[in-house]
Structure formats: C-alpha cells, structure tokens
Amino acid sequence: MNSGIHLKKTKTDIDKNSIEEFNRLRKEKNAILLAHFYQVPEIQDLADFVGDSLGLSQEAFNTKANIIVFAGVHFMAETAKILNPGKKVLLPDTEAGCSLADSCPAGDFEKFKNNYPGYIVISYINCSAEVKALSDIICTSSNAVKIVESLPRDTKIIFAPDKNLGSYVNRITGRNMVLWEGSCEVHDIIKTEAVLKLKINHPEAKLIAHPECKAVILQMADFIGSTTALLNFTQRDSAKEFIVATETGILHQMKKSSPDKKFYVVPTDETCSCNDCPYMKLNTLPKLLNCLKNESPEIVLSPGLMEMARKPIIRMLELSK
C-alpha cells in the first residue's frame, strides 16, 4: 500500500552518502583529493588540499599517496601524472577540459615555434602535455613574472598560450615576449561595462582581477594575482568589499576566511551574478566517488611524452622555491 511517504533521495542525501563513502575509500586506498579553487564548495570542503595551479602541482609533486583524485581540469591532472608517472591519477570527468589549453593545438604551436629559432619557450601551465613537451619552462599566474625575470634581459622569449597573461607580464617586466594568441573563455569575456556598473554600485569596493582578464580590466584593478594571491589579498587588505574579476568558485574560500567582508563577482550576463567555468563545474561529489571506487577515468600518457613534459615543469618548481 502506498503510505504517501516520498522515499526519493534528495541531493543532500546523495551528497552525504557520497562524502561518507569517499572518506572510507580515500583511507582504504591511500588516496588524496586535490581541488582547485574553482570547484564547487562541497568539493573544496572535502579536499585534502585546495589551491591554485602552482600549489596544486607542488602538492602533487610531494604527495606520498598512491592515488591522486584531481578535482580540477584535464591539464591539472595531466601535470600531476607527469610529476608522478608511477601513481594513479584520476579525473572525475574527462570532459573537464580548458578553453585556454584548447586554444593552443600542439601541431600549430610547433610550426609557430619554428618561426622563432633561438627563442626560449615559456608556457603557462594551462596547456596540453604536448605543448609542455615543446616548452623550456612552465609557469603559472603566481610565478610568471618571477620566471620571466629569472632570464637575462636580452633573452628572446615566446610566451604561450595566454595572450592576456603574456601581455600583462610584458608590461610588468618591460620585456617584449612574442605571444601566442590564446585566451580563456571565462576571463576574456569579462566586460568593462559590468565592472564599471559594480564600481558605481559599490564605490568603496576594491577591484581584484586574475591576469587572464583583458588588459582593460587589469588596468582598472587595485590588485592582480593568481587565485591564491587574490584570496590572500582579501584576507590582509583593510577593504571591506571586493569586486572579484575571476571565476565564482574562489568566493567560497574568500567568504569562509573573511565572513565580515562582501564579495561581488563580475557577472558575464544580466541573468546571473556568477561567472562559472563550465569545465571546472563538471565535477560533482557523485562523480568523485565513482572515479575513486572504479579507479577510472585515469590519466594515461606515454612515458616518452611524460619525460619531455616533465623537464619544464621541474624547472618551474625549482625556480619557485
């Protein structure tokens, strides 16, 4: 007889079960969960480490775990695998790519590079393993300036794939690096009008921006930095309100560490007050659980490619100490 009681599981029930089961498997399999700041809050809260691309690669390099579950996008999990060829690296959804990495196909980049003999290639970590293998040094948004400045002033440099980060580094360092014309669809779309509207509505707020944004946004910013640098700035600065020009996920840690401060993300359209990366947001708790349970999808790369891509990443890690 139908008692009338609805036994359908709610999202909260599913999430609670996924967390319990994930915790059990994480211990049993000696696994670690690494999550980027753009992940949904419930994944950030479950992670062993939450960070920016540099922090995540340092953590992946130093981990003693047997399995790395990467709650981020493909190039991040690939980097973790390159740093740990003997370990299992899992990515909950193989569709979690990156528009910036996709804007630089390795074959086209190799032809481009051949036009500049004698140039050093510095590639932003948001690129494929194949592009890393064509590079001399990898950088992230938190160490790009430092890495460029570690090279003599007259060094001829190609910077790929992000034109916005590349031109920002050119402005800061006074270099004239040749830039690959790539960009991130999430940051490149952030519009001046949307920022100005927020500035008018919140005149006391400071504008903080990720260097993947266009120059016009960066020129208006009070502070520019990687996700970790932006988070740290909101913690130490005396301002009580911030306009945040990057992906929405970072607001979780900002609000957690400064509950008395206000954060306004720059919307990409009139219908929402968010700016989500569609790739980062593909990861969910049930997908995380399934991938650890089945130990799949796994990142698999050829040993030769890993060896070639590893050198420029290790160079970055050494220069970042």
User: Which residues in this chain contact ligand 13P in the complex, by CB under 6 A?
Assistant: 37, 52-53, 126, 140-141, 184, 210, 212, 226-227
* Contacts to ligand SF4 by CB under 6 A: 73, 98-100, 126, 184-187, 212, 247, 277, 279-280
161 near 123, Cβ under 8 Å?
yes
Residue 29 or residue 281: which is nearer to ligand SF4 going by CB?
281
Residue 149 or residue 185: which is nearer to ligand SF4 going by CB?
185
Instruction: Mention every residue, 6+ apart, whose C-beta is less than 8 A from residue 201.
Output: none
Residue 140 contacts which entry, ligand SF4, ligand 13P, none (Cβ below 5-8 A, type-dependent): ligand 13P
310 near 42, Cβ under 8 Å?
no
176 near 170, Cβ under 8 Å?
yes
Q: Pull the structure tokens for residue 6.
A: 């609805």
The least distance separating ligand SF4 from the CB of residue 167, rounded to whole angstroms, comes to: 16
Distance CA 24, CA 297 (A): 19
Residue 53 contacts which entry, ligand 13P, ligand SF4, none (Cβ below 5-8 A, type-dependent): ligand 13P
217 near 190, Cβ under 8 Å?
yes
Residue 84 or residue 143: which is nearer to ligand 13P going by CB?
143
The least distance separating ligand SF4 from the CB of residue 187, rounded to whole angstroms, comes to: 6
Residue 279 contacts which entry, ligand 13P, ligand SF4, none (Cβ below 5-8 A, type-dependent): ligand SF4
Residue 52 or residue 59: which is nearer to ligand SF4 going by CB?
52
The least distance separating ligand SF4 from the CB of residue 51, rounded to whole angstroms, comes to: 14
Residue 187 or residue 310: which is nearer to ligand SF4 going by CB?
187
Residue 147 contacts which entry, ligand SF4, ligand 13P, none (Cβ below 5-8 A, type-dependent): none
Residue 59 or residue 212: which is nearer to ligand 13P going by CB?
212
Distance CA 321, CA 316 (A): 9
The least distance separating ligand SF4 from the CB of residue 190, rounded to whole angstroms, comes to: 11
Distance CA 239, CA 254 (A): 13
The least distance separating ligand 13P from the CB of residue 24, rounded to whole angstroms, comes to: 30
Residue 91 or residue 277: which is nearer to ligand SF4 going by CB?
277
236 near 189, Cβ under 8 Å?
no
Closest C-alpha among 224, 254, 85, 82 to residue 164:
224
The least distance separating ligand 13P from the CB of residue 220, rounded to whole angstroms, comes to: 19
Q: Give me Rg for the CA atoms of the chain.
A: 20
Supply the DSSP symbol for 34.
E
The least distance separating ligand 13P from the CB of residue 21, rounded to whole angstroms, comes to: 29
Distance CA 264, CA 245 (A): 9
Distance CA 42, CA 247 (A): 16
